[in-house]
Structure 1
Amino acid sequence: MLAQQRQQAILERVRRQGAARVADLVRELGVSDMTIRRDLEVLAERGLIEKVHGGATATGKGSTEEPGFAAKSVRQQAEKEAIARCAAELVRPGSSVALSAGTTTWALARHLAEVPELTVITNCMRAADVLHRAGRPDQTVVLTGGIRTPSDALVGPVAVAAVRSLHVDILMLGVHGMHVKAGFTTPNILEAETDRELIDAAQRLVVLADHTKWATVGISTIAPLDRADMVISDPGLPEDARIALGERACDVLIADLADPAEAVAR
């Protein structure tokens, strides 16, 4: 296969699925890791894809763009893992936890599987699956039901009705973006409605958002910044973002990428 044909095949896969991993492309196209990385470099230089750690994602960042789960799962992996570890430290055995949908909350679910006697409410299909596979008999996992979005969230009237009568100790909320004026946002209007119900059901709101979420705005606001009790992010979060969040009475916890078990609070 000629380089041009190979690059076209890569581009079509990224556009169709939203993302592609280098390892998968090596296996499918029968070429070396270095060859695939050169192809991705060429496509990225032409503005056709966005290179990320371990692969590539489709371009485009409109307010209604909703990347699929596969596309989001290869972005900022180290940051999301560090954030998830920090978030897990806030969860006590025997408590009730709500998880919104998202790849960061999915990462968190793997850590929550180690916490005994939890009750977990979630509209995240991937997180529910992680907890189900862990098979802890002392954990109760409630999946809301609802309409499935491209990011594997369950939303809409069924999800809202399932959450409306519940009360939980803490909500771990993943967001598409956060902005001084727009607040915490999502590109999916129905997901925003479901997330607002989750917020109302929780005594404490913790937002999990890596640094790339700052100044990103989705079409629908979930909540203003001052609604959060805490935001957990990574060292890439700009200083102006930390100040803006702090001024809104929101604690900011920065996960240490080198040692995710520790964090510096501001």
Structure 2
Amino acid sequence: MLAAARHQAIVDAVQRERVVRISDLAAQLGVSLMTVRRDIEQLEEGGKLERIHGGAKLPGDASTHEPGFELKSTQLTAEKRAIAVEAAGLVHEGMAVGLGAGTTTWALARELADGPRITVVTNSMRIADLFHPGGSTVILIGGERTPSDALVGPIATAALKQLHLDVLFLGVHGMDAQAGFTTPNLLEAETDRAFVAAARRTVVLADHTKWGLLGISSIAAFDDVDEVISDEGLSAEARRVLGERSKLRVVPV
């Protein structure tokens, strides 16, 4: 494959996935890791992408950039469903279950909608709709709506301070070895921290592309959550770091 064709393929992959790994690109393009590294360096110089450890990401996929629900819901659907199926096995009849807003937690809600009768606490209207009508009780907290369709802010936070959850399933924008779990929205970070404080157990649901993304505000450190469920695309370095700091489940897709 000519360099120009490789470069376009790499740019297309980054635009589609937001974060890509060098090893995956090398396998897809049928070239060496060194060739992909050189391609990424050239593309970074041209402003087409940004190098990160072990891969590349969208340039300007900034700490405050927040993709909308509609776009994210079309990405990595197989990975999100695999994560959701694994997470659903942790839910049992009668539980009070927190579901943070996001497309992976929405995938989990789809798995749970016809499952055991539970009490669902969520800040996502889309998730609440999946359970209505049905046998489960739904508590939808109010607040200001974000581009990712989360209800956040002082009203949401105040409501969560009055509740006690058996388990919280939380989606995140990014995972960073130093910053932990992050989000590009300051109000959402505050609300998610209240979710974590209300839960006896917190499980983060995050596909492999979240590794290396950094939002402006931290939600929790890796060792502040009980478990992380991700997919087999997660890099060896990410597995090592997450595995040392919290329980990690990696599911096949």
User: What TM-score range do you get, normalising by the shorter chain?
Assistant: 0.7 to 0.9
User: CA–CA distance in 2 between the matches of 1:45 and 1:236?
Assistant: 17
CA-based RMSD of the aligned residues comes to 2.0
What is the CA-CA distance between 1:59 and the residue it aligns to?
A: 7.4
* Structure 1 residue aligned with 2:164: 167
Are 1:254 and 2:219 matched, yes or no? Answer: no
* Residue type at the aligned position of 1:174: G
What is the CA-CA distance between 1:50 and the residue it aligns to?
A: 2.1
* Structure 1 residue aligned with 2:206: 209
* Structure 2 residue aligned with 1:176: 173
The secondary structure found in structure 1 opposite 2:181 is: strand
User: CA–CA distance in 2 between the matches of 1:155 and 1:114?
Assistant: 27
- Counterpart among 213, 216, 220 of residue 219 in structure 1: 216
Cα distance per residue 1:150-195 (max 9 Å; x no partner): 0000000110111111001000000000111010000000000000
Cα distance per residue 1:190-213 (max 9 Å; x no partner): 000000000000000000000000
* Structure 2 residue aligned with 1:36: none
Cα distance per residue 1:80-131 (max 9 Å; x no partner): 0100110001101111100001000001001111222200000012111111
The gaps in structure 2 that reach 5 residues or longer are 1-7, 18-57
* Structure 2 residue aligned with 1:51: 16
* Structure 2 residue aligned with 1:185: 182
What is the CA-CA distance between 1:45 and the residue it aligns to?
A: 7.8
Counterparts of 1:125-144 in structure 2 under 5 Å? 125-132=125-132, 135-136=133-134, 138-144=135-141
User: CA–CA distance in 2 between the matches of 1:177 and 1:51?
Assistant: 16
* Residue type at the aligned position of 1:234: D
Indicate if the aligned counterparts of 1:146 and 1:157 stay in contact, CA closer than 8 A: yes
* Structure 1 residue aligned with 2:104: 104
Indicate if the aligned counterparts of 1:50 and 1:59 stay in contact, CA closer than 8 A: no
User: CA–CA distance in 2 between the matches of 1:242 and 1:113?
Assistant: 30
Cα distance per residue 1:117-147 (max 9 Å; x no partner): 2000000121111111xx22x3100000100
* Structure 2 residue aligned with 1:6: none
What is the CA-CA distance between 1:46 and the residue it aligns to?
A: 7.6
* Residue type at the aligned position of 2:75: R
Cα distance per residue 1:41-69 (max 9 Å; x no partner): xx98887x9236xxxxx974111000011
Indicate if the aligned counterparts of 1:44 and 1:51 stay in contact, CA closer than 8 A: no
Aligned residues: 207
Counterparts of 1:27-46 in structure 2 under 5 Å? none
User: CA–CA distance in 2 between the matches of 1:194 and 1:171?
Assistant: 13
User: CA–CA distance in 1 between the matches of 2:182 and 2:210?
Assistant: 10
The secondary structure found in structure 2 opposite 1:253 is: strand
Counterparts of 1:61-80 in structure 2 under 5 Å? 61-80=61-80
1:237/1:163 Cα in 2 relative to 1: closer, same or farther (>3 Å)? same
* Residue type at the aligned position of 1:50: Q
User: CA–CA distance in 2 between the matches of 1:63 and 1:180?
Assistant: 15
User: CA–CA distance in 1 between the matches of 2:205 and 2:169?
Assistant: 7
* Residue type at the aligned position of 1:103: T
Cα distance per residue 1:194-246 (max 9 Å; x no partner): 00000000000000000000111000000001111110000000111111112
Counterparts of 1:138-157 in structure 2 under 5 Å? 138-157=135-154
User: CA–CA distance in 1 between the matches of 2:169 and 2:176?
Assistant: 18
* Residue type at the aligned position of 2:179: A
User: CA–CA distance in 2 between the matches of 1:70 and 1:184?
Assistant: 22
Indicate if the aligned counterparts of 1:44 and 1:50 stay in contact, CA closer than 8 A: no
